Amino acid sequence: MNKTPIVKEPIKAKKGLRSGRLTIAMHNLAYICVGLAIILAVAQFWLYGLRYRRVFSPNVWSSVTLTNGQAYFGHLEQYGPSTVVLFDAYYLQTVPASAEDTTADTTVTNSDTNTDSANITATADETTDSGLQLMSIANDLHKPYNYLIINRDQIMFWQQLTAESPIVQTLESQK
């Protein structure tokens, strides 16, 4: 008896499993995933923008304290995803007592408070009774423009100042 080996041909995959309904379902799933990713990205940018539009207002005076401890005052606005701009920028500088006596021109008193610490002595830049002088950055030695572009990583915190703030009242009286 002659035994011949039976050679079977390899089983071929059916065309329908790869190119038929399964492929269409995979394409539809891919389109749904891409669509959801786009919707989530748009929602994130929209919500991010709304949140910062409420925080940054060009009509409100803000105090910005940097990580080095320096505080600046001005109108805070968003400049980009990692920077802000402080327009009409001022900072406080300590003035020696003898220099404070020679620069005092007039005194403005805040009648809303009962403390003497609300008295502000007006000069070209403002000097307070505590020996601090409010200086515009435009008056610095190198004469920069009156704004600061600040990296958000350097900001420790910022606050919006009320109209009752002695600093805001001083800055508004200068305009």
Which of 2-6, 149-153, 169-173 is the least confident region? 2-6
**Dihedral angle sign, alpha carbons of residues 104, 105, 110, 115:** positive
Q: Among 8-12, 57-61, 77-81, 136-140, where is mean pLDDT lowest? A: 8-12
Are β-strands 61-66 and 126-128 bridged in parallel, bridged antiparallel, or unpaired? unpaired
Give CA–CA dist 51/145, Å, rounded.
Answer: 29
Of 7-21, 38-52, 105-119, which gets the smallest average pLDDT? Answer: 105-119
More confident residue, 116 or 34: 34
> What are the sequence ranges of the domains in the chain?
15-55, 61-174
pLDDT at residue 119, rounded to an integer: 38
- Does the predicted TM-score (pTM) go above 0.75? no
Write out pLDDT tens, residues 118-143. 333 444 444 456 688 889 999 999 99
Average pLDDT of the residues of the chain: 75
Q: What is the 3-state secondary structure (H, E, C) of the chain?
A: CCCCCCCCCCCCCCHHHHHCHHHHHHHHHHHHHHHHHHHHHHHHHHHHHHHHHHHCCCCCEEEEEECCCCEEEEEEEECCCCEEEEEEEEEEEECCHHHHHHHCCEEECCCCCCCHHHCEEECCCEEECCCEEEEEHHHCCCCCCCEEEEEHHHEEEEEECCCCCHHHHHHHHHC
Of the two residues 27 and 141, the one the predictor is more confident about is 141
List the CATH code of the domain at 61-174. Answer: 2.30.30.100
- Return the minimum-mean-pLDDT range out of 23-27, 47-51, 110-114: 110-114
Condensed to tens digits (0 to 9), the pLDDT of residues 87-96 reads 999 999 888 8
The first and second tokens of residue 83, run together, are: 């920077």
Reply yes or no on whether the pLDDT at 75 is more than 50.
yes
